[in-house]
Structure 1
Amino acid sequence: MANKEENKFEQAKGNVKETVGNATDNKDLENEGKADKTSGKINEKVDEAADKVKDFTDKVKDKFNKDK
């Protein structure tokens, strides 16, 4: 998984590609930019979900270890 900065960079890179593609009427570049932005957003959400799962499992482990 990518880190937060990589996800934000992917989104920013996509935004630039999309803007340049739109300004130059280059649909391929515009679509590539949209794909990059979407990829960055999806990776960001996956990382957030993974963090929540890790936090939950850590809490369960802590609770289990306290009950010993």
Structure 2
Amino acid sequence: MTEVLRGNADIGCGDAFDFSNCARNITLETMGVKPPTMRSTGTTIVAATYKDGLVMGADSRATAGNI
């Protein structure tokens, strides 16, 4: 739980997540490709892992108009 609260948990390419593009993204980064610019949307997303899986939640209501 402390990893989630810290906000800087190193998820890497670990067992708890299945990000198919993880290896691709690492390769692109080593080639100097810059990722897209982050944009604040007012959406809150939280995730927590546990022994048998992952729980994610989001408040995705649009309160700041169109993006």
TM-score bucket (shorter structure): under 0.3
Relative to its length, the structure with more helix (as a share) is 1
TM value normalised by structure 1: 0.24
TM value normalised by structure 2: 0.24
Q: Which has the larger radius of gyration?
A: 1
Task: Between the two structures, name the one with larger relative contact order (CA 8 Å, sep ≥ 6).
Answer: 1
